[in-house]
């Protein structure tokens, strides 16, 4: 069952993704979530704190996705990451749109600078641990390439193309990284 705090976060995520952080007021969050300002301020000190909570929650989801079972073969772990990411990308476009908006709004990017760096480091190290088992010498470069491909696909899917071939992109990455 969803708590009121979860409802506030979900509503704010939707509004931030749709209208941007700066153009979304706490009043709009309250109205859309059908909660009082008092309740919002009971859970969060400010709109900035709501943004930080959303970003930290989304980081946790991304890290959990990338922390596939370390006992699995590297190709199986990469397959899990790719399939999980594409499933989330297609089923929760709003979540990824929110993250994209954060990266392109200078004020939010500054506000979340330490969290953005922490997320990037966590995700990079997780992917690098997989590639170390494939090619220890080139694991860092392979990790950068893998992450850049994922980021590029997500960016194109969310913003650039109306009929983006998302399934074909997933299948291409699966073939490339899992030899399937």
Residues 26-44 pLDDT 10s: 999 999 999 999 999 999 9
In a domain, 86, yes or no: yes
The pTM of this model reads: 0.81
* CA 32 to chain CA mean position, Å: 23
Q: How far apart are CA 4 and CA 75, in angstroms?
A: 40
What is the tens place of the pLDDT at every residue in 128-173?
999 999 999 999 999 999 999 999 999 899 887 778 999 999 999 9
Q: Domain range spanning residue 150?
A: 46-178
For the cut 90, the answer to whether the pLDDT of residue 2 exceeds it is no
Domains in the chain, number: 1
Which residue in the block uniquely carries the two structure tokens 């030899």?
179
For the cut 80, the answer to whether the pLDDT of residue 118 exceeds it is yes
In a domain, 22, yes or no: no
In a domain, 88, yes or no: yes
In a domain, 135, yes or no: yes
Spell out a b/e string for 67-100, using b for 16 or more CB atoms within 10 Å of the CB, else e.
ebeeeeebbebbbbbbebbbebbeeeeebbbbbb
Contact 38, 32 (CB under 8 A): no
């Amino acid at each position: 069952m969803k708590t009121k705090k979860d409802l506030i976060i979900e509503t704010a995520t939707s509004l931030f993704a749709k209208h941007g952080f700066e153009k979304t007021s706490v009043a709009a969050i309250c109205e859309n979530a059908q909660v009082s300002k008092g309740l919002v301020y009971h859970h969060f000190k400010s709109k900035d704190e709501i943004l930080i909570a959303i970003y930290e929650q989304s980081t946790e989801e991304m890290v959990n996705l990338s922390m596939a079972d370390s006992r699995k073969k590297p190709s199986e772990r990469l397959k899990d990451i790719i399939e999980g990411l594409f499933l989330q990308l297609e089923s929760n476009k709003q979540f990824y749109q929110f993250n994209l908006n954060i990266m392109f709004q200078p004020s939010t990017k500054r506000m979340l600078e330490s969290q953005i760096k922490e997320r990037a480091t966590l995700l990079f190290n997780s992917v690098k641990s997989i590639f170390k088992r494939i090619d220890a010498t080139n694991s860092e470069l392979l990790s950068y390439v893998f992450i850049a491909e994922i980021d590029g696909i997500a960016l194109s899917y969310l913003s650039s193309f109306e009929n983006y071939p998302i399934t074909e992109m997933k299948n291409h990455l699966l073939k490339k990284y899992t030899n399937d």
